Amino acid sequence: MSIKREISDSLFTRALNVIPGGIYGHVAPVAGLPRYFPHYAQSASGARFVDVDGNEWMDFMCGFGAILHGYSNPEIEDFAEEQRSKGSVFNQPSPIMVELAELLTTNIDFADWTVFAKNGSDLTTWAIRVAREQTGRPFVLKAKGSYHGVDAWCDPGFGGRLEEDRTHILEFSWNSLDEFQNLLKSYANQISSVILTPYHHAAFAPSILPTDKFWKVVEKECEKNGIILILDDVRAGGRLNEGGSHRYFNFTPDLSIYSKALGNGYAISACVGKEFLRNSSKEVFLTGSCWNDAVSMAAAFKSFEISQRDKVAESVLKKGDYFSAGMVARANQLDLPLTMTGPSSMPYPWFEGDGNLFRIQKFCELAAGKGLYFHPHHNWFISNALDYNDLDQAIDLAAQAMIELRDFEKS
Amino acid sequence: MIMDNARLIPFAAALSLEAASAEIVSQRNNGSILKVKLLENYSIQLGGEGLCFKDSELIKAVSTGFGLPCFLPLFRHFNNALKSISMLLKIKSILSSKQTSSEKVSVGLRAGLAATAAFANHDSQSKKLLESEESGIVLFTIANSDIAVWISFSANELCQVGSKPLKIKPAAIFTFQNLKVASSAISGWFDHLGGPALGEAEISGNIPLLDKIGYISRKAQKEVPSIL
């Protein structure tokens, strides 16, 4: 397909006048393929979206993870619409807030309570403060290169930051239990929390699954040392296990944060916690003007219900297995050694020896020409709206892109 | 060595001049390189003995086109000082030209990258940004031209800048669409987020590294005055 982009470019040019950089953050064109991806989307349904120039894309990014059940999922939209007809933000929360909290605490095995916000960052930052309130200790331990949001203690940018923003943040390499335990020793009785994603899904790098003993040791050490274990399940939540990613890796956190797929495209985040943290959670101020937004809560309620009913995590993992196996087989046939890293429901493709990413960038450019939205720098997401015919089609198109890649490299 | 801004800024400016002179010498096969020597009494020597500026005068020189040199070394090594002054005038003439030429762009790019390298080597925040990176080279080119300027760094060595052909594959490549866009970049008018999105530049390879070098270069461009 030849990608039309006149309207995209025209909108972007207008945006540059009124929005610094035109588009910012993880969706900034420079973070992806600036001249191969569209700048603006017009509409989306199921596993496909149409950009403002009318190009249709088969989507493997799902709004960077915000969509799990497909775009414009009718069940979710109908349920959200019902709430929208009554109103969304009032002086008081709506009954749906209680119903959603009950649904989450019932279905997430360790959860005794829930709070809501809008973004993952709202609650990762709040959670480390709850841990500090509980323990009276200042330090937070995280994995190097992990993303926990946009706040100054953890954002991946460079500007506007003070050195003291990270004075109390300690880092260890993912899976390095030696480094982890050394930090526990060096900062004995000073560490309030360990915050980790269920597996290491850094951008621009292959995803790394935890070793067999990683979570067991982390969980045990946290318990032994009175450290609060916080699971940042913002990205993976709902994609590995319907009850939270800790169940996929068989451990239990003290606090867990969900967002992305929780509302299937509606802005909402949730933090669930164990009973012993209830009082501390009440001491750390938490609010936002539109955080009681009942429409998002309704969407999250229906989305979570569908996940439980249809075992959606299991479904996207199976589809991901099928897709990844197809991709790897085609790449191997062409002598392009490829590994689909991370869990199959959110795979990140890694070409052997491609540390500087030139090959994956070229591959994704060529795939874009075939209507496949494959991101070169961020893990992909398998939408449950993709069926096996879609996956076959995607694998075939990807294989064509691989042939072109091989020819390009030979030339 | 970490420097405070009071010294780093004139030092970065001086290194820009050295890089600009090196580019001119390599292109024209004549002239002398303005080798920088940082002196203890808050002054900087350019091109060997003869031309020396107090830090504050060097800043004036690069921002207005004129700064008062130290007289004593000037008179002691008059001929050498004249050579250096002549090179300074060449740099001024090339960079302040209203015409966009490949010489202006290659000299400007190399000078700008030299200031970036100075910050990468001696500014604490910039140095820290590159700490976690392995060694590598970022290459800046202009489409359909043979201009190629690079900045290299490694864990144990200082960042370096050059324009000789590269023997090893760069970690990242930044290609300006044409001379005009590159010229706007050296004048500080290039939108690093918007430009690539509209095709004014192409980026490939290790984007996080490019992002860091970009941030350091914008910081240097903001802090170090220029006649551009």
Q: Does A327 contact chain B (CB < 8 Å)?
A: no
Q: B198, B200, B215: best mutation site toward chain A, by most A Cβ within 10 Å?
A: B198
Which CATH number goes with the domain that contains A197? 3.40.640.10
Q: Is A222 among the domain residues?
A: yes
Banded model confidence at residue B132, pLDDT cuts 50, 70, 90: confident
Q: A10, A11, A17, A158: best mutation site toward chain B, by most B Cβ within 10 Å?
A: A158
Instruction: Collect contacts of B89-98 with beta carbons under 8 A, ≥24 apart.
Output: B90/B21, B90/B24, B90/B31, B91/B17, B91/B20, B91/B21, B91/B24, B92/B65, B92/B227, B94/B20, B94/B24, B95/B20, B95/B226, B95/B227, B95/B228, B96/B65, B96/B227, B96/B228
Q: Are residues A49 and A78 in the same domain?
A: no
CA distance A42 to A217: 47
More confident residue, B132 or B186: B186
pLDDT, one tens digit per residue, over A229-283 is: 999 999 999 999 999 999 999 999 999 999 999 999 999 999 999 999 999 999 9
Say yes or no for a CB contact (<8 Å) between A34 and B203. Answer: yes
Q: Are residues A152 and A288 in the same domain?
A: yes
A chain contacts of residue B196, beta-carbon cutoff 8 Å: 29-30, 34-35
Q: Are residues A252 and A322 in the same domain?
A: no
Instruction: Examine the pLDDT at B135 and tell me if it is beyond 90.
Output: no
Say yes or no for a CB contact (<8 Å) between B196 and A23. Answer: no
| pLDDT given at position A1 | 58
Say yes or no for a CB contact (<8 Å) between B207 and A357. Answer: yes
For residue A139, the tally of other CB atoms under 10 A from its CB is 21
pLDDT, one tens digit per residue, over B173-203 is: 999 999 999 999 999 999 999 999 999 999 9
Which CATH number goes with the domain that contains A46? 3.90.1150.10
pLDDT, one tens digit per residue, over A13-42 is: 999 999 999 999 999 999 999 999 999 999
Q: Is A1 among the domain residues?
A: no
- The b-or-e profile of A48-79 (16+ CB within 10 A means b, else e) is bbebbbebebbbbbbbbbbbbbbbbbeebbeb
The helix (H) or strand (E) run that includes residue B104 is helix B102-122
Q: A56-59 and A372-373 as β-strands: parallel, antiparallel, unpaired?
A: parallel
CA distance A40 to A10: 10
Give the domain-ending residue among A265, A287, A310.
Answer: A310
Tell me what the pLDDT averaged over chain A comes to: 97
CA distance A191 to A187: 6
Q: Is A298 among the domain residues?
A: yes
Domain boundaries, chain B: 5-95, 102-223
B chain contacts of residue A172, beta-carbon cutoff 8 Å: none
Say yes or no for a CB contact (<8 Å) between A28 and B193. Answer: yes
Q: Are residues A44 and A178 in the same domain?
A: no
Strand, coil or helix: what is B207? helix
Say yes or no for a CB contact (<8 Å) between A356 and B171. Answer: yes
> What does the angle CA A146 – CA A152 – CA A155 come to, to the nearest 5 degrees?
30
| Chain B CA closest to residue A159 | B215
Say yes or no for a CB contact (<8 Å) between B193 and A30. Answer: yes
The burial of A14, by beta-carbon neighbours within 10 Å (0-12 exposed, 13-18 middle, 19 or more buried), is given as: exposed
Q: Could you tell me the two tokens for A143?
A: 């994995």
Instruction: Examine the pLDDT at B155 and tell me if it is beyond 80.
Output: no
Report A:363-382 residues touching B (Cβ under 8 A). 377
Q: Are residues A139 and A55 in the same domain?
A: no
Q: Are residues A38 and A24 in the same domain?
A: yes
> What does the angle CA A202 – CA A203 – CA A204 come to, to the nearest 5 degrees?
120
Q: Is A244 among the domain residues?
A: yes
| pLDDT given at position A136 | 98
CA distance A409 to A304: 45
B chain contacts of residue A34, beta-carbon cutoff 8 Å: 196-197, 199, 202-203
Give the domain-ending residue among A310, A337, A353.
Answer: A310
CB-based contact A382:A316 (threshold 8 Å): yes
Q: Could you tell me the two tokens for A206?
A: 């292959």
Task: HSE, CB side, 13 Å, CA atoms: give it for residue B178.
Answer: 3
Q: Are residues A164 and A289 in the same domain?
A: yes
CB-based contact B120:B109 (threshold 8 Å): no
Smallest Cβ–Cβ distance between B204 and the set A24, A158, A358 belongs to A358
| pLDDT given at position B167 | 84
Say yes or no for a CB contact (<8 Å) between A358 and B205. Answer: yes
Mean pLDDT along residues A100-128: 98
| Chain A CA closest to residue B194 | A21
Q: Is A288 among the domain residues?
A: yes
CA distance A147 to A158: 14
Instruction: Examine the pLDDT at A212 and tell me if it is beyond 90.
Output: yes
Q: Are residues A226 and A323 in the same domain?
A: no
Q: Is A36 among the domain residues?
A: yes
A77: closest CA of chain B, how far (Å): 33
Smallest Cβ–Cβ distance between A24 and the set B136, B193, B203 belongs to B193
CATH-assigned architecture of domain B102-223 = 2-Layer Sandwich (3.30)
Mean pLDDT along residues B214-218: 97
Q: Are residues A305 and A322 in the same domain?
A: no
Q: Are residues A141 and A188 in the same domain?
A: yes
Give the domain-ending residue among A287, A310, A333.
Answer: A310
Q: How far is CA A147 from CA A6, A121, A271, in A?
A: 34, 10, 17
Q: Are residues A180 and A213 in the same domain?
A: yes
Q: Does A21 contact chain B (CB < 8 Å)?
A: yes
DSSP H helices in A108-174: 120-135
Q: Does A23 contact chain B (CB < 8 Å)?
A: yes
Q: How far is CA A130 from CA A123, A218, A254, A290, in A?
A: 10, 19, 11, 22
Neighbouring-strand partners of residue B138: B151, B172
Tell me what the pLDDT averaged over chain B comes to: 94
For residue A403, the tally of other CB atoms under 10 A from its CB is 15
Tally the domains of chain A: 2
Q: Are residues A365 and A298 in the same domain?
A: no
DSSP letters of A228-288?
EEEEE-TTTTTTS-TT-HHHHHT---SEEEE-GGGGTTS--EEEEE-GGGHHHHHHS----
Q: For residue A217, give its domain range.
A: 74-310
DSSP letters of A45-112?
EBTEEEETTS-EEEESSTTTTT-SS-BT-HHHHHHHHHHHHH-S--SS--HHHHHHHHHHHHHSTT-S
Instruction: Examine the pLDDT at B218 and tell me if it is beyond 90.
Output: yes
Instruction: Examine the pLDDT at A46 and tell me if it is beyond 90.
Output: yes
CB-based contact A296:A259 (threshold 8 Å): no
Query: Taking the mean position of all CA atoms in its chain, how far away is CA A286?
Result: 22
Neighbouring-strand partners of residue A41: A51
Q: Could you tell me the two tokens for A329?
A: 């087989």
Q: Could you tell me the two tokens for A41?
A: 């989307």
Q: Could you tell me the two tokens for A355?
A: 């540390």
Mean pLDDT along residues A384-400: 98
